[in-house]
Amino acid sequence: MDRPFELGLNSFGEVATNARGKDLSDADTVRLLVEEAKLAESVGLDVFSVGEHYRDGHMDSAAPVLLAAIATATERIGLGTSVTVLSTNDPVRLYHEFATVDAVSNGRARLVLGRASVTESFPLFGYDLTDYEDLFEEKLDLFARLMREERVTWKGKTRAPLIDQRLRPRMPEGGIPTWIGVGGSPQSVIRAARFGMPLMLAVIGGRPERFTGHVELYFRALEEFGQPVLPVGQHSLGLIADNDEEARELWWKHWRPLVAQLSKERGFYAPDRERYDLEVDTGALFVGSPETVAQKIARLARTMHLSRFDLKYDIMHLPASARARTIELYGNEVAPRVRELLARPEEAPPARSSAHH
């Protein structure tokens, strides 16, 4: 690998259950996230990220506040977002918030910016979905300039103009690490390359290898835009337990009602056990024992030229104890095993016999 491989955790602030199977309160769930970030740091993980959602059961609606709280409770781990919906954020406010998080955390802040796969924030903050593409493009242009230029003069359609504006506190020169989150759009891949930002692939269903073409497109576009080679990461869902059967059964119990709801809302496939097992075996669910999950991460890291893998470990009503066990096993067993596997020389594929010609 050209750069150290990073392993991180993503949370959408989803409500957990306690030892008696009762949902935690909203406030308890927020505090749980701080404790889970501390645990992630203690087991040696590289990044802890939170999302941005505005729906029942998700406590990640104020990511900069959460990350600032986590910053004061940790010392080393990177602090980021699994997605920040730039389209419905103001770039100036976002700069202020994350420059402050970066200062509080002593340089540990990072971002993943996205257009939004769920759109509750548009009506909530008074934006029109018909402006979906224009909002993101224009706001990304402004945010990139605010990070990379000392003083900015800017005029656009989505907010008031800026005239020779210098924001405080200042980010480090060049800004903080900022990735573009992509769910499948080739146009978004090209945009990430054009702005010179790393690519984060949100792979939540189907075979992850189908994104290999997106990675190849990204590297070609970087070259055409005169950009250096930049990192590619993957965000996927999963759970790690002491053995494969325990992990599969526990995740199935909580994944099935979630996908059933999404199938009604967004036209996803209805969940069934055969499809679920296929997702675990060859698809986008990283569910199993530490060895099973480590092998899958390492294989895809090679296939897709990844520099980072983020595991979304929380799912609605999952016991807090199972979340903690995932974090412990991920840091203590999966992460070192992945690095061991990636340090080995890549094996050549077996020669094809004449019987297959």
pLDDT in tens, 113-142: 998 666 787 787 777 867 778 889 999 999
User: Which residues have C-beta within 8 Å of that of residue 46, sequence separation ≥ 6?
Assistant: 6, 7, 8, 77, 78, 308
Per the structure block, which two tokens stand in for 69?
A: 């709280």
Per-residue pLDDT at 353: 41
Q: Three-state DSSP class for 311?
A: strand
Strand partners, 236: 311
As a whole number of Å, the end-to-end CA separation of the chain is 33
pLDDT at 2: 60
Residue 156 has pLDDT above 90, yes or no: yes
**What pLDDT, on a 0 to 100 scale, did the predictor assign at position 73?**
98
Q: What is the DSSP letter of 23?
A: B
Q: What is the largest CA-CA distance in the chain?
A: 71
Evaluate whether 201 touches 214 at the Cβ level (below 8 Å).
yes
Q: How many CB atoms lie within 10 A of CB 174?
A: 10
Confidence of residue 347 (pLDDT cuts 50, 70, 90): low
Torsion sign across C-alpha atoms 45, 326, 333, 215: negative
CA angle 92/10/94 to nearest 5° reads 5
Q: Is 72 exposed, middle or buried (0-12, 13-18, 19+ CB in 10 A)?
A: exposed
47 three-state secondary structure: strand
Tens-digit pLDDT profile for residues 264-282:
877 777 789 999 999 999 9
Q: From CA 179, how far away is CA 144, in angstroms rounded?
A: 11
Whether the per-residue pLDDT at 213 is higher than 90: the answer is yes
Right CATH number for 6-130+180-344 from 3.30.300.30, 2.60.40.1180, 3.20.20.30, 2.40.30.10? 3.20.20.30
What average pLDDT does the chain have?
93
Residue 354 pLDDT > 60, yes or no?
Answer: no
Judge if pTM exceeds 0.75. Answer: yes
